[in-house]
Amino acid sequence: MLMCLAYFPNQVRKRTPYVEHAFKAFYDLRVTTNVKRPNGCLPPVAIDHVVDEPDLIRDIARNNGPYFMPARYLIGGETAATARKRTPKIVKDAPAYLIGPTWRGDWAFDGEVLVEEVAPLLHHQGFIGVAKQMFDAEIVIPEQVYVNLSTPMGAQPFSHVDIPEFMGVNRHNAPGWFLQAMGSSRLFEDVRISIVTAVAWFYEGERGFFRYWPSGRDNESIRHEQMWNTAVIGDNDFMHHLVERVGGKDKRSPDGMSINSELDHDGSHWKILEKGKELASYDDIQVRLSLSWKAKVYADGVKFKDYSSGNRDITVMEAITRFNQELGCDFKSLQEVEMRLALTEKWSGYIS
């Protein structure tokens, strides 16, 4: 095992160029769309009016806490689907860089509406229309709506890509860190599912801008500055993005936070809570709200049927085997801490 781990000298924060995957020959046969990404990702589309009643989104957020740090899903042993049924597992050994004052709430998952008022958002016609154009696709099936809430903080020190899904290996049977490694390694392009993401903002406080790299991480970035009722629809499983500073220059998150700290609104203020103890309190305007929408994309009915049949699915064990072949390792199950450390370190999806 030590021999194996020696292959991973601290690569988390090194920049790795986009590499055309080695499985291109399979591309037309298996994936849900046939898009090419010569610049690393598909070009994003910005829109400047998302909903007619943007204040309602903030109302819904205040009424549906508490919120948990998304990294608890990313590195906890459970799948996102399991974690969403209850309070996610307490995580003990979180790396410090994953602890930040951003919390998540799920409003729709697997196409199922979890927060009633959000149903129209899940089927947002503007998002669906742009997605069809972007992927040159006929079928877009919305699955997720979630909010990220951030209290004042410095800029994220790294950009990231979102957690992808694959045929047979997805949020139901694999944890976030494993899916992230599958995506970033580019070893599974033959079974990748195309996912489109819209991120919309409902924030009138200071700063809180969104930066993204529409032509690859090594090229120019764009800073999105209009944060009220606007959105960027993008190929976020490939397009790097990050959140800039939220609040004034002197603002920082409180001491004493852990990856298990929660955020909740008590009717007058937002509170950061650690084991029930209040660490900080904020006015509503200080809390940045972004809303993410995700949908699966299929070029046409044939691709959709092909995917739905399950004939193309790989198993988690087949995925582990493919990693083993690449790394010269002998990992056997998702429970192996060594595998999590090895894959997370090499293919975390974060770039500083």
**Rounded to the nearest whole angstrom, what is the least distance from the CB of residue 22 to Fe ion in the complex?**
26
CA distance 66 to 83: 14
Nearer to Fe ion among residue 177 and residue 323 (C-beta): 177
Dig out the tokens for 57 from the structure: 């989104």
Nearer to Fe ion among residue 162 and residue 189 (C-beta): 162
SS3 228: strand
Whether residue 78 contacts residue 102, with contact meaning beta carbons closer than 8 Å, is answered with no
CA distance 91 to 103: 15
Nearer to Fe ion among residue 261 and residue 290 (C-beta): 290
**Rounded to the nearest whole angstrom, what is the least distance from the CB of residue 70 to Fe ion in the complex?**
9
Nearer to Fe ion among residue 162 and residue 306 (C-beta): 162
Q: Which of 323, 313, 325 is nearest to 346 (CA)?
A: 323
Q: What is the largest CA-CA distance in the chain?
A: 58
Please list every residue from 53 through 82 that binds Fe ion, using CB under 5 A. none
**Rounded to the nearest whole angstrom, what is the least distance from the CB of residue 236 to Fe ion in the complex?**
6
Taking CB positions, which residue lies at the least distance from Fe ion?
A: 162
C-alpha distance from residue 283 to each of 62, 180, 266, 280 (Å): 11, 34, 11, 11
Nearer to Fe ion among residue 41 and residue 320 (C-beta): 41
Rule CB under 5 A: is residue 237 a binding residue for Fe ion? no
C-alpha distance from residue 25 to each of 22, 167, 208, 240, 304 (Å): 8, 17, 42, 26, 20
Nearer to Fe ion among residue 162 and residue 165 (C-beta): 162
Nearer to Fe ion among residue 162 and residue 190 (C-beta): 162
**Rounded to the nearest whole angstrom, what is the least distance from the CB of residue 312 to Fe ion in the complex?**
27
Nearer to Fe ion among residue 61 and residue 327 (C-beta): 61
**Rounded to the nearest whole angstrom, what is the least distance from the CB of residue 73 to Fe ion in the complex?**
13
Q: Which long-range contacts (CB under 8 A, 24 or more apart) does 273-277 make?
A: 273/66
**Rounded to the nearest whole angstrom, what is the least distance from the CB of residue 240 to Fe ion in the complex?**
9
**Rounded to the nearest whole angstrom, what is the least distance from the CB of residue 345 to Fe ion in the complex?**
20
Q: From residue 150 to residue 169, what is the string marking binding to Fe ion with x (rule CB under 5 A)?
A: ------------x-------
| DSSP annotation of 43 | P
Q: How many chain residues interact with Fe ion (CB under 5 A)?
A: 1
End-to-end CA distance of the chain: 28
SS3 285: helix
**Rounded to the nearest whole angstrom, what is the least distance from the CB of residue 162 to Fe ion in the complex?**
5
| DSSP annotation of 286 | G
DSSP 94-134: --GGG--SEEEEEEEETTEESSGGGHHHHT-HHHHHHHHHH
List interacting residues with Fe ion (CB under 5 A). Answer: 162
